[in-house]
Structure 1
Amino acid sequence: MKVYIIGAGPGDPELITLKGARLIETCPIVLYTGSLVPERVIARANREARVLDSAKMTLDEIMDVLKNAHDKGQDVARVHTGDPSIFGSTAEQMRRMDALGIPYEIVPGVSSFTAAAAALKKELTLPEVSQTVIITRAEGRTPMPEKEKLETLARSEATLVFFLSATLLKKVTEELIPFYGEECPAAIVQKASWPEQKIIRGTLSDIAQKAKEEKINATAIVFVGKVLDCEDFADSRLYSPDFSHKYRKRKKNSESSPFAETNGAKE
């Protein structure tokens, strides 16, 4: 018996791993987060499977399902949205399973923030612009560790990705403007990869108002950073003719970079 904690992806039923889909199809018990995981993903479950929505359950009730399955020797597909490692509320379940001796395995999934970046058609790390992505959330009912306050993170001017922060955008933008500036690009993707996906683009000066006008209040990823509106960035060194690695030696011809001829590099 094993509990499989499965990342179901951001919403599109085709954005689940082959392993995750197979486990949903074969496990006799499927326990899924109904408030976030689309029914199209759970439609893969076997007709004979016991399918349960955990959206209205407490942690104790969820653990009762897992413990009963363990006692009966039944595998469980515990299906979460996105990837279980990011704001997945899975750690407390794993802690209790460890205490009860219930074996489990994590099956990673496509995170909603990567699906949102894909919807924007943006690379979050551009050479010489931003090489760091900070995934965080605004401080609300869940307090932030003191060293992870937004003011501290903003000093890096890295690309920022916010989960669970759509209703706190005014506060977020006010805290970021002193570091990023009012004209820093910002974007919101609501329900990335879902049929009703919505994209809003703006700057720190107007993104909160735009989100309010569009009634964006949940299931949204917020991005802030220069990479969102930047055409003036250096090409990656990976494909440069003077960049050698084990698959490609540096070219010796007139098209080679002058830098390669003067920096003392050798084959």
Structure 2
Amino acid sequence: MSSAQVCFVGGGPGAADLLTVRATRLLAEADVVLYPGTYLDPEVLAHCSPDAELVDTQDLDLDAMVVVMVAAVAAGRSVVRLTSGDPSLYSALTEQTRRLDLAGVPWSVTPGVPAYAAAAARIGSELTVPLVAQSVVLTRTQARSTAMPDTETLAAFAATRATLVLHLAITRVRELMDEIVGEYGADCPVVVVHRASQPGELTLRGTVGTIADLVDSARLRQAAVILVGRALARDGGESYLYDAARDRSAKR
């Protein structure tokens, strides 16, 4: 790092070899690394300097984390705030950067591989299949968490019949499947990937009608992504972009 600042770095889905080249460089250069111990494979921290101060954030509230970051930068130390997946999704980036701005602390963001992409890769599925689904809805549900906006109900998203990616929802899977079965049908494919790319990874394949029983049998309670949609069946049309009949002489 060129100067003392906070770098928010996407740690990817957890595997040490699924970080970007830039992420590994920033980790190697950082004086202080804050990391989510609940979600990352400990081998990710092997990219850090042996002299770095490592701070597990799983027992810290937001203000306590910011205190550590601000103090480190004030002391001329470079900081990496490692997030699980990609900082653009459910990372509390907005809250943290608001506080850093008030403290006059410079910061930057480095993207990472999101968990849903790792889950889709594990099962070899494209989430946007021609004539089946051309949109992906990334959402979560409310349990012991921040309230969802009134306009972002699961029923409203299900009405699109797009591919659904449900985060932070594994403890409510039966209730959620009951909520969407009218739009997707009981036979619609569902895949749950627990700890994608990490040791202990588990993949469950079922349908809207059967996945809850599979999750209960596996006793999954956290760190799982739920994928729902007909695109997972790998059936459908073919892309116009690669159609042999398309006129490739025309300007795009």
What TM-score does the superposition give when structure 2 sets the normalisation length? 0.94
Shift >6 Å, 4+ stretches: none
How far apart, CA to CA, are the structure 1 residues paired with 2:30 and 2:165?
34
How far apart, CA to CA, are the structure 2 residues paired with 1:76 and 1:156?
42
Aligned to 1:263: none
Query: What does 1:59-138 correspond to in 2, within 5 Å?
Result: 59-138=62-141
Aligned to 1:222: 226
Cα RMSD over matched residues? 1.5
**How far does residue 230 in structure 1 lie from its aligned partner after superposition?**
3.7
**How far does residue 120 in structure 1 lie from its aligned partner after superposition?**
1.1
Aligned to 2:185: 181
Equivalent in 26, 31, 36 of residue 33 of structure 1: 36
Q: Cα deviations across residues 177-196 of structure 1 (Å, max 9, x unaligned)? A: 11111111111000001121
Aligned to 2:197: 193
How far apart, CA to CA, are the structure 2 residues paired with 1:187 and 1:211?
10
Check the 8 A contact 2:7/2:109 in 1, yes or no. yes
How far apart, CA to CA, are the structure 1 residues paired with 2:16 and 2:234?
32
How far apart, CA to CA, are the structure 1 residues paired with 2:149 and 2:64?
29
Confirm or deny that 1:239 pairs with 2:242: yes
Name the SS of the counterpart of 2:33 in structure 1.
strand
Q: Cα deviations across residues 18-46 of structure 1 (Å, max 9, x unaligned)? A: 01000101111111111112211112211
How far apart, CA to CA, are the structure 1 residues paired with 2:86 and 2:128?
20
Equivalent in 148, 160, 171 of residue 164 of structure 2: 160
Q: 1:235 to 1:53 in 2, by over 3 A?
A: same
How far apart, CA to CA, are the structure 2 residues paired with 1:58 and 1:12?
25
Check the 8 A contact 2:15/2:40 in 1, yes or no. no
Check the 8 A contact 2:125/2:234 in 1, yes or no. no
Q: Cα deviations across residues 117-160 of structure 1 (Å, max 9, x unaligned)? A: 00111000001110000000122123211111111111111100
**How far does residue 243 in structure 1 lie from its aligned partner after superposition?**
2.4
- Which is higher, the Rg of structure 1 or of structure 2? 1
In structure 1, stretches of 5+ residues that fail to align are 251-265
How far apart, CA to CA, are the structure 1 residues paired with 2:249 and 2:18?
37
Name the SS of the counterpart of 1:43 in structure 2.
helix
How far apart, CA to CA, are the structure 2 residues paired with 1:65 and 1:111?
26
Return 13-22 or 34-43, whichever deviates more.
34-43
What residue identity is the alignment partner of 2:39? Answer: L
Confirm or deny that 1:249 pairs with 2:249: yes
In structure 2, stretches of 5+ residues that fail to align are none
Equivalent in 207, 210, 213 of residue 206 of structure 1: 210
How far apart, CA to CA, are the structure 2 residues paired with 1:88 and 1:120?
25
Check the 8 A contact 2:164/2:228 in 1, yes or no. yes
How far apart, CA to CA, are the structure 1 residues paired with 2:228 and 2:51?
46
What TM-score does the superposition give when structure 1 sets the normalisation length? 0.89
